[in-house]
Each structure stands twice: as C-alpha cells, then as structure tokens.
Amino acid sequence: MKFLDLCKVYIRSGAGGNGSISFRREKFIEFGGPDGGDGGRGGDVWAEAVDGLNTLIDFRYQQHFFANNGQGGGGRQRTGADGDDIVLRVPVGTEILDEDEETVVADMTELGQRVLLARGGNGGWGNLHFKTSSNQAPRRANPGQPAIERTLWLRLKLIADVGLLGLPNAGKSTFLAATSNARPKIADYPFTTLHPNLGVVGVDGREFVVADIPGLIEGAHEGRGLGDLFLGHVERCAVLLHLVDGTSGSLLEDWQTIINEIEAYGGGLADKPRVTVLNKIDTMDDEERAFLQDELEAKVGGPVLLMSGASGENTTEVLRALRAHIDENRLRDAPEDDETWRP
C-alpha cells in the first residue's frame, strides 16, 4: 500500500427538496384545501476516524464527495424523502484543514470520532403550512435550502508514542527493525526511508508505538532533501529518540544539524523530551566509545546512551529510557503469548 499523508477533497452536502403546491381534489369534497407536503432534507457530509487505516491513499482516487439531495414534497401531505448522508472514513490522527491549509476544521485523534463537515439543506415548506383564515388556498411553497460546498485538505499525523530523528543513515530503520516486527527498507545509502514507518516495541511487559520518518538534512525546514514534509508525524509523540551516527566523523555537527532543524520547524518539537543515543557502537572499541560519549555529552549537556541497532547491544536500555518519558495511560500491556514480541 502506498503512503499518502496530504490530499485535497471537494465535498458538497445535499440540497433540501422543494415544498409542494397541491390541493386536495376528491369527489363530494367541495373545499379540499391545500395539501402540499414539505421537501426532504439534504444529506450531511461527515468525517469519521476509523480503525485499520494509516494512509490517505484512498482519497487519491476519489476526491469528490457529494451527498444526495432531498426529494420534493408531494400532494396528500406527502413529505419528500431525505437525502442519504455521506461519510469520509479517515485514519486516526487526521487533521482536516480549510482551503487555506491553515485553519483547522477538526483534529481526528480518537477512534470513532465523528465531525460534521457540511450540513444538508432543510426541505422547503409545502403550501399546507401557509394556510390561514384569510388565505384558504395559498399558492405558495418554499424552495429547499441550497447545498454547502467546501474544499478541504486532509493531513495525516500518525499517532505514535516515540518519534525517531536523525540524519540519513543514522540507523533509525535498523533500530526499528531490531526492536519490533516492522520491516522498513534498510540500505547503505541516504534516504532509504521515503515514507514513515510504524513499529510496536515492547519492554518489561509494556509496549508502545515508534514512528520512523525519513532522515533530515541541513536546510530541511526550507524544503531541502525530503524537507520537513514528515515532521508532522512526530508532533504527537511523547518523546523523541535522537540517533547520532558514531561513525560519521562529525557527530557534534550532526547532532546540531538536527537540533537546528526541529527548532526552525516549530510545532513544539524542540520542547519535547529527547533521548540522545550514540549509535553504531559495534564498530568501536571501548576507548573510542567512552571518548565519543563524553564528547557528545558535553555538547548535549545531558546523558547520552550507547547503542548498536545492528547487533542489538543496549537496545533494551534505550527502550527503558524511552518508556520513562511516556505516560502510563499511553502504554499497553504486551501479549504474553506473542512469540514475536521483542526484546
């Protein structure tokens, strides 16, 4: 399945049906009077957050969603049928934006959440409603209310507890593959990851969700490389895991590049708790590990963990450090009989 996290849709609610102008005509009834029925109500357009979706790819192939119009009223006081509603089923975590791409119409953060996007028009009154003592045969009926048309943007921000940050080839996908059943693409060239990946990881009988996004480079907030297109997917995370490649030869500059980018992006990312990890320590001896750890801790101003995603060394300690920053309400019990659960 292809990944799509931004799309444009066009919606239109149903117009209300027109009221009817009709008079009762039956044998032996001289003054039947008006009996025009009301028009039916137009259908609404709703959005609903559903389970089992993690992409907006369905909206690439259908962008127009039109609810049915209400039917007109009829004689014998018959009310027209209401138009059927239409529901846009979106993944949990979808933001619905107005046409300006800035005004948030709704934020679908809970499963089963429903939001009304466009209300259907009311049906018009038939001439029966206009009968008075002075006007026994009104020849007047109301038209139905018009439909509402809107252009909206859907932007998906994945729901995850931990977000992975780092330069390309920092080892983010390797870490996700080593600690979960996710199988992201792993290769020895930059930008192997082209779209976000989610993995469920567990430690000490509790599990949480980790999001891996494409690597950032300097100037990403200005659109360089893959830009900041995917940083929105870690906005909802409780903690960020910042992986620094210990084999790069410029780890201090690498760390600072990521910090500069998340500060320039905004969205509160720079204020989130961060766990900094020196990755790929399987390629170093103990002396080199200690030297680089001390150097990076002096730059970060806090503790730096050592880890190797490729060999699995210290991955459990990193998961425990992440879990400490996640609220207990967001954690889930890991299934005891799941043989694939790690570590």
Is 192 marked within a binding site? Answer: yes
Give me the pLDDT at residue 342, please: 47
> Is position 212 annotated in a ligand binding site?
yes
Per the CB < 8 A criterion, the answer to whether 269 and 239 are in contact is no
282 annotated ligand binder: yes
The set of residues, in sequence order, having a beta carbon less than 8 Å from that of 320 and lying 6+ positions away, is: 203, 204
Cα 88 to Cα 41: distance, rounded to the nearest angstrom: 20
Q: Where are the domains of the chain?
A: 1-156, 162-333
Residue 191 is labelled as binding a ligand: yes
In tens, the pLDDT along 6-29 reads 899 999 999 999 999 999 888 888
d(CA 62, CA 313): 47
281 is in an annotated binding site: yes
Calpha distance 292→215 (Å, rounded): 22
166, 300 Cβ separation under 8 angstroms = no
Distance CA 255, CA 149 (A): 47
The response to whether 130 counts as a known ligand-binding position is: no
Q: And the tokens for 91?
A: 């993944």
The candidate with the shortest Cα–Cα distance to 235, out of 1, 5, 2, is 5
For the record, the structure tokens of 199 come out as 């993995």
| Residue ranges, the chain, pLDDT below 70 | 1-2, 182-195, 215, 217-229, 335-343
Say if residue 231 carries a ligand binding annotation. Answer: no
The one-letter amino acid at 259: I
201-222 pLDDT, tens per residue?
A: 988 888 899 988 876 766 554 5
Name the CATH superfamily for 162-333: P-loop containing nucleotide triphosphate hydrolases (3.40.50.300)
pLDDT tens digits along 142-190: 999 999 999 999 999 887 899 999 888 888 888 998 888 766 656 554 5
Q: Tell me what pLDDT residue 261 has.
A: 85
Q: Is residue 171 marked as binding?
A: yes
- Provide φ and ψ at 283, rounded to 5°: -95, 5
Residue 250 labelled as part of a binding site: no
- Confidence at residue 225, expressed as pLDDT on a 0 to 100 scale: 52
For residues 191 and 226, the answer to whether their CB atoms sit within 8 Å is yes
Q: Is 126 annotated among the ligand-binding residues?
A: no
The residues, ordered by sequence, that sit 6+ positions from 326 with a Cβ below 8 Å of its Cβ are 161, 162, 208, 238, 239
Side chain identity at 205, as an amino acid letter? G
166 is in an annotated binding site: yes
Asked whether residue 170 is marked as a ligand-binding residue, the answer is: yes
**Sign of the dihedral defined by the CA atoms of residues 94, 95, 96, 100, in that order:** negative
**Token reading at 108:** 């679908």
- 134, 62 in Cβ contact below 8 A? no
Query: Residue 256 and residue 252: Cα distance in Å, rounded?
Result: 6
Cα 255 to Cα 143: distance, rounded to the nearest angstrom: 65
Q: Is there a binding annotation on residue 167?
A: yes
Q: What are phi and psi of 317, to 5 degrees?
A: -60, -40
Identify the CA nearest to 10 among candidates 55, 64, 52, 75: 64
**The pLDDT of residue 55:** 87
pLDDT the model gives residue 295: 93
* 181 in a known ligand binding site: no
Q: Give bridge partners of residue 28 from the DSSP assignment.
A: none
Residue-level pLDDT at 338:
52
User: Does residue 86 have a known ligand-binding role?
Assistant: no
The whole-angstrom separation of Cα 84 and Cα 46 is 11
Structurally, what CATH architecture does the domain formed by 1-156 represent?
A: Distorted Sandwich (2.70)
172 is in an annotated binding site: yes
Residue 173 is assigned to a ligand binding site: yes
Is residue 35 part of an annotated ligand binding site? no
